[in-house]
Amino acid sequence: MSQHSKRELVQRLQPRYLKADRNEKTRILDEFVAVTGLHRKAAIRRLRQQNQPRRERRGRKKTYSGSVVSALTKIWRICGGICGKRLQPILADMVASLERHQELKLDKETKARVLAVSPATIDRLLRPFKISQRRGQSTTKPGSLLKHQIPVRTFADWDEAQAGFVEIDLVAHCGESTAGQFLCSFTATDVSTGWTECFSLQHRSQIAVSAALEQLQQRLPFPLLGIDSDNDTVFINELMLKYCQTNRITFTRCRPYKKNDQCFVEQKNWSIVRRTIGYQRYESQAAHQLLGEIYEELHLFTNLFQPTFKLVSKKRTGAKVVKTYDTPQTPLQRVLDMKLLSVENSDRWQTIYRQTNPAQCRRNIDEKVKQLVRLGK
C-alpha cells in the first residue's frame, strides 16, 4: 500500500476514530492495522496526529544562511581563501572597501550578520568550498664556499621589534623534473611586519638574485637592514657577500637542513607563491613576463589586504605547548602602527589603500594565472 493511499485512508477514518467510543476505536484500529500493515502504536499516532501541525525542529535556528553565506563566500574568495581567524578581524575593513568600489551591496540586516560572524563559524560555513593542494619539490643545492664568513642564525634570533630584517628564499617552477632551465620565484618576507615581496627570475643564478635584491629595496616601504637565506649556492657566494657589505646589509644564513629556521619565508612560499602559481613547469620568456605581472598585483593585494598572525608568547606545560597570537593585521597596518614611515609616505600608502579595489585586484591575478597556466601546457 502506497503512502499516498495510507494518507487518504487516514483522512477518511480519522473523524470517525476521534468521535468513537473505546470499543469502536478498537474495531477501527484493527481494520486500519490489517489494511496498512503498520505497527499498532504507529497506527494510533497516525489516526491521532495526522491533522496536527508538525513540531518545529528542536535546537537553535540557523542564523547564517542565504545572503549572509553568499556575501561571506564572495569576501573569502576575494581574500584568497584565508582561514576564519585571519578573515574575521578584517571583515569590517574589507566590506567597507568593497562597498566603496561598488563590488558589494548588502542590506542593513545582512551586513550586521556578516560582521558578527565568528572565526569558527566562518570556517564551518566555508568548509564545502575549500580544496587541498599538493606539495612540490626542493631545488636547493648546498654551497660550502664562504660559509665561515656568513654567520648562522635561527628564527628565534631576530629582533622582531625592528623592521627591515627579511628572510629570502627561492621557489622553483620546475614541474615534475628539476632538469634544464626553468623559472623561479624570489620570495622575501620581513620578520617584524610580515611585508612580503615576490619577483620572477628567468634563471636560477647569482646575478638574477642580486637584481631581485635591488628591486626589493625599491619596493619595501622601509630600509632593508638585513637578509637571512638558506645555504643554497645562489645565496652563499662572493657576489652576494660583496653586495651586502657594499650596501651595509647584515647577511646571515640558517642551519643546513633546518627549514624551520626560515619559518617566516617558508610559510609565504606556500600561502602566496604555491597557492597562487601552483606546481606547473614554466620556462619561456612570455611566462617570465607574465609571472612578473602577477607579482606586481600581489605586491598590493598581499600587503594591503592579507592579514597575518604574530606569535606573542609560547608556554610549554609537559608535552603540551600553548601558543598565544595577537589580533591579525595586514602588513600595511603593522607598518603604520609602528610609525616607520614619514608623514608623506604614510599618507601616500593610505591613499593607495583607499584607491585599490581588492576585488579587481583578485580578478586581475586570477586572469593572469589562467594565461600563465595556458603557457605552461
Q: Which of 68-72, 198-202, 261-265, 295-299 has the lowest mean pLDDT?
A: 261-265
CATH, residue 372: 3.30.420.10
Measured distance CA(76)–CA(208) in Å, rounded: 35
Residue 142 lies in a domain: no
Residues 213 and 347 in one domain: yes
User: DSSP character for 284?
Assistant: S
In a domain, 71, yes or no: yes
Q: Are residues 177 and 113 in the same domain?
A: no
How confident is the model at residue 331, as a pLDDT?
A: 94
Give dist(CA 94, CA 103) in Å, integer: 11
Asked if residue 128 has pLDDT above 60, the reply is yes
Task: Give the C-alpha separation, 169 to 235, whole Å.
Answer: 9
Question: Is 353 contained in some domain?
Answer: yes
Quick one: 17 and 76 in the same domain?
no
Determine contact, residues 363/80, Cβ cutoff 8 Å: no
CA 256 to the chain's CA centroid: 29
Which residue would you say has higher pLDDT here, 153 or 258? 258
Asked if pLDDT for residue 233 goes beyond 90, the answer is no
Query: Is the per-residue pLDDT at 377 higher than 80?
Result: no
Going by DSSP bridges, is the β-strand pair 196-201/183-190 parallel, antiparallel, or unpaired? antiparallel
pLDDT on residue 176: 86
In this predicted structure, which of 17-21, 119-123, 367-371 has the lowest mean pLDDT?
17-21
- pLDDT-based confidence at residue 337 (cuts at 50, 70, 90): very high
Q: Worst-scoring range by mean pLDDT, 80-84, 138-142, 368-372? A: 138-142
The identity of residue 191, as a single letter, is V
Boundary residue ending a domain (85, 102, 129)? 129
Range of the domain at 77: 67-129
CA–CA distance, 266 with 279 (Å, rounded to integer): 16
The answer on pLDDT for 201 being more than 60 is yes
Query: Is the domain of 85 the same as that of 155?
Result: no
Whether residues 155 and 93 fall in one domain: no
**Do both 205 and 80 map to the same domain?**
no
- Over 50: is that where the pLDDT of 350 sits? yes
| 362 within domain boundaries | yes
Q: Please give the tally of structural domains in the chain.
A: 3
Residue 190: pLDDT over 90: yes
H or E element: which one contains 325?
A: strand 320-325
Which residues, at least 6 apart from 225, have a Cβ–Cβ distance to it below 8 Å? Answer: 162, 164, 165, 249, 250
In a domain, 263, yes or no: yes
Please give the C-alpha separations between residue 264 and each of 104, 167, 211, in angstroms, as whole numbers: 33, 7, 22
Lowest mean pLDDT among 9-18, 148-157, 240-249: 148-157
Q: Is the pLDDT of residue 368 over 90?
A: yes
- pLDDT higher at 298 or 149: 298
Strand pairing category for 250-253 and 311-317: unpaired
- Contact by Cβ (8 Å): 272, 196: yes
Considering the domain architecture, whether residues 88 and 161 belong to the same structural domain is answered as no
Out of 129, 160, 182, a domain closes at 129
58 falls within a domain = no
Terminal CA-to-CA distance of the chain, rounded, Å? 60
Q: How far is residue 308's CA from residue 331's CA, in Å, rounded to a whole number?
A: 7
Average pLDDT over residues 19-40: 88
Q: How many C-beta atoms lie closer than 10 Å to residue 181's C-beta?
A: 10
Same-domain status, 14 and 117 = no
Do 182 and 329 lie in a common domain? Answer: yes
- Partners of 165 in the β-ladder: 226
CA atoms within 13 A on the CB side of 92: 5
Q: What's the CA gap between 186 and 235, in Å, rounded?
A: 11
Q: Are 172 and 139 in contact (CB under 8 A)?
A: yes
Separation between Cα atoms, residue 236 and residue 153, nearest integer Å: 14
- 357 shares its domain with 283: yes
- Cell 647569482: give the residue: 206
Using pLDDT thresholds of 50, 70 and 90, give the confidence band for residue 237: confident
The answer to whether residues 246 and 364 belong to one domain is: yes
The predicted structure's pLDDT at residue 223: 92
pLDDT above 90: residue 319:
no
Q: What is the distance between the alpha carbons of residues 174 and 40, in angstroms, rounded to a whole number?
A: 71
Distance of alpha carbon 253 from alpha carbon 76, whole angstroms: 36
Mean pLDDT taken over the chain:
86
Q: Helices (DSSP H) in the chain: which residue ranges?
A: 3-19, 22-36, 40-49, 67-78, 84-87, 91-100, 108-116, 119-126, 206-219, 238-246, 263-268, 275-277, 285-305, 331-337, 343-355, 358-376
Residues 226, 328, 107, CA angle at the centre, nearest 5°? 140
Task: Specify whether 36 is located in the same domain as 77.
Answer: no
Kindly state whether residue 326 falls inside one of the protein's structural domains: yes
Higher pLDDT, 94 or 137: 94
Cell numbers representing residue 330 in the block? 595586514
Is residue 21, in this structure, part of any structural domain at all?
yes
pLDDT at 145: 46
